[in-house]
Structure 1
């Protein structure tokens, strides 16, 4: 019987394996941020234990960081968490990309862009969206604070091996359909529990055609389908992305690694506990209407009729049922988060807003995923496109993805958000979150309500062509 890529990585990292017991896995990379690490470091100090492999740890500040006046953290708890991380990294010899670093940013953005994320690695972080790194063919997942302490102390982690699911997506994505729409469609069709107890491998011609940044979006939100983690087998697109990055292998070592990484594919005769096949042509631009990512429909749909099972979600979101999604007005637009704040996300959104103006009733913000992304965007002139349209251009951080910093959606108001969760209160008390792709968010900012970005762009292109006399 053949092996899956998940089998291969898992077996390569087993330190201890006994029947009917969890396996002890070696961890290659431990990513750290300010929110889930203080208690873990405190536990080490209480037991007088060192960090086992500080060279395999990497820290940044992201959740609590203001995206305006970034050195002025007003909330006392947030400021204390940031200061504590800085002290702990100095004490234990861990590299930190802090507020003054040119590389500071969201942990799941800077890991890949610095070349820390490689195929075949085991990667953990005290953050559920660590699954993002699975886009590189890494086995990566979020852990709790007690597990953070265990990894700091031992560079290992006890884990029961999950079941395995193959989600095969084939065909060509339509115009205006993005990786964000793919994962929202998947969760909308199969629910937030479809991946429970599983690691998902995304495969198929559609997945192979995606860029690394698009693959990261796909893996990032696999957690919202209930999965433990997700993975995509590495290929030339993966290798080309990694090559030349600061922490990537160099020269002959890189070539040697690539040869090994090419073996990280599932065997033809590998078996899965569950397989789901998807036709990419079925997927349209998506909008969430409720309080879980599974409450999601194509933009040209109606919200479901009111029924008992949906009452709480409809009430929280201020709907009676049967409203047209394209009639929903928004007061806020957020382009950012570890799901959709990379340079390609900003490039695509900028194409939508170029020459347009943000609707008078909308506050729209763009938050690059890292200071590196911000610099690159500014070199391309994207900041001017957004600013000229009426967007706010911010520093890097988790920002409006979650209510842990200054960027909050007021109670009862709606936000078209490129983040990953639309839970009640996620963006602030009483905030009403609608998850969309960057291009859908950009179109909503211009129109003041949800609109089909496909028709928006076709109309816009026609206007441009007419203006140019073509």
Structure 2
């Protein structure tokens, strides 16, 4: 039998039908929906006069457009209120489970799936959101889909897809002090570019990846989409199984043992071929920060912004960011810090930040906002006293939601202001019209909040 990659094994196991000279019909195990990309899909079902084919395999939550303050009050913004109300009505009409505002399971869609044990190895998972790739950290195929495809999945529990090529990204070695999974992925994207993964599904492997927590693995897979890939995945192992065990919707008893036996077989065969391979050393990675207007424009925090050398795209980016080619970012004054998003809003992220800022105070001129990824994360942070540590340091702990990641809600960065953000995208206007975003890890972001400027966090750790 021909050796197969993990991706090929799961994909082939979910192909329902192959269309000659066309895409494949792929069965979907789990479908997540939220208030932004689902209304038109439900409207399409109503127009056709059909229902949701398998409602028990769809989970809904409100996250993108929700306020992160006073969630117990009616939503003030008319568009946000309309979108959230529409989601409530659609889920009620079509029998879909909804974790809306006020529900103990509400949160960012890519945070709640894993923490509730809904996300499991060997599955196919989709959502009308590009960062669905986050779930691939559990050894499954997870990818974002468009609104018309959301309708396809609601109606048939299948989606039409062309099979992507496969890519291996191997990172071996030991990470330096102060270097996190966010730094790994920003480093990789800076090396292979934002189009380096186009047309591929990526499997991340190597000792540096294996040594990451599940939170760290989710950060890596979350941003696989930022290198142009269709998604990212990591083979499940004991770290994965330990994380899932005992969670709300994880298998129990005899079912757990049966599933565990299945999951342990989910790995790439030794002699399997990938279409593309990349190899990196963990020792080469330092805390990273972006200087431009896409996630591939990243440098080590002690490095220099590349010289222009006639590159128009870099010139345009640096003009928007009001930065100069050849200069250093260290010491650059910043205005906002945002720690949150589906990339870095889990309890591990909040713990790391709390540990760094405990007993210290943020710079007076910095607005520091921390937004937990879910009600569960918020609850845990309060139980552990993290909220008090953050408050004493001058940080604001808000309520769960996508928040300032995408400027779709009230949490925007003003025009011309610099924000160190733990989110996944730094496009022009992403955090608000004219906002200047620099992507970094939670530690680098927290360090900047304390000093008021871009700082090598290793100086504070030492």
Instruction: Name the TM tier (shorter chain).
Output: over 0.9
Give SS of 1:148's match: helix
**2:357 aligned residue:** 353
**2:8 aligned residue:** 7
Give SS of 1:158's match: strand
Structure 1 residue runs of 5 or longer lacking an equivalent are: 459-470
What TM-score, normalized by structure 1, do the two folds share? Answer: 0.96
1:120 lines up with 2:122 in the alignment: yes
Alpha-carbon distance in 1 for matches of 2:404, 2:128: 19
Alpha-carbon distance in 1 for matches of 2:111, 2:311: 40
Alpha-carbon distance in 1 for matches of 2:166, 2:416: 40
Alpha-carbon distance in 1 for matches of 2:325, 2:377: 40
**Match among 347, 350, 362 for residue 366 of structure 2:** 362
**2:322 aligned residue:** 318
Give SS of 2:255's match: helix
Alpha-carbon distance in 2 for matches of 1:283, 1:301: 12
What TM-score, normalized by structure 2, do the two folds share? Answer: 0.98
**Match among 184, 188, 191 for residue 189 of structure 1:** 191
Check conservation: 1:299, 1:326, Cα contact below 8 A. yes
Kindly report which structure 2 residues correspond to 1:232-251, keeping only aligned pairs within 5 A, or say none: 232-251=234-253
1:44 lines up with 2:45 in the alignment: yes
**1:466 aligned residue:** none
**1:383 aligned residue:** 387
Deviation string, structure 1 residues 361-382 (Cα, Å, up to 9, x no partner): 1000110000100010111111
Alpha-carbon distance in 1 for matches of 2:325, 2:259: 54
Alpha-carbon distance in 2 for matches of 1:225, 1:327: 28
Q: Tell me the CA shift for residue 153 of structure 1.
A: 0.2
Check conservation: 1:116, 1:247, Cα contact below 8 A. yes
Pairwise CA RMSD of aligned residues? 0.9
Kindly report which structure 2 residues correspond to 1:8-157, keeping only aligned pairs within 5 A, or say none: 8-70=9-71, 71-157=73-159
Structure 2 residue runs of 5 or longer lacking an equivalent are: none
**1:467 aligned residue:** none
Q: Tell me the CA shift for residue 18 of structure 1.
A: 4.4
Alpha-carbon distance in 2 for matches of 1:128, 1:2: 30
Alpha-carbon distance in 2 for matches of 1:277, 1:318: 34
Deviation string, structure 1 residues 129-169 (Cα, Å, up to 9, x no partner): 00000000010000000000000000001111000000011
Q: Tell me the CA shift for residue 19 of structure 1.
A: 4.8
1:433 lines up with 2:437 in the alignment: yes
**2:346 aligned residue:** 342
| Number of equivalent positions | 458
**Match among 230, 233, 239 for residue 231 of structure 1:** 233
Give SS of 1:368's match: coil
Q: Tell me the CA shift for residue 304 of structure 1.
A: 2.1
Check conservation: 1:66, 1:72, Cα contact below 8 A. no
Q: Tell me the CA shift for residue 407 of structure 1.
A: 0.3
Alpha-carbon distance in 1 for matches of 2:335, 2:9: 48
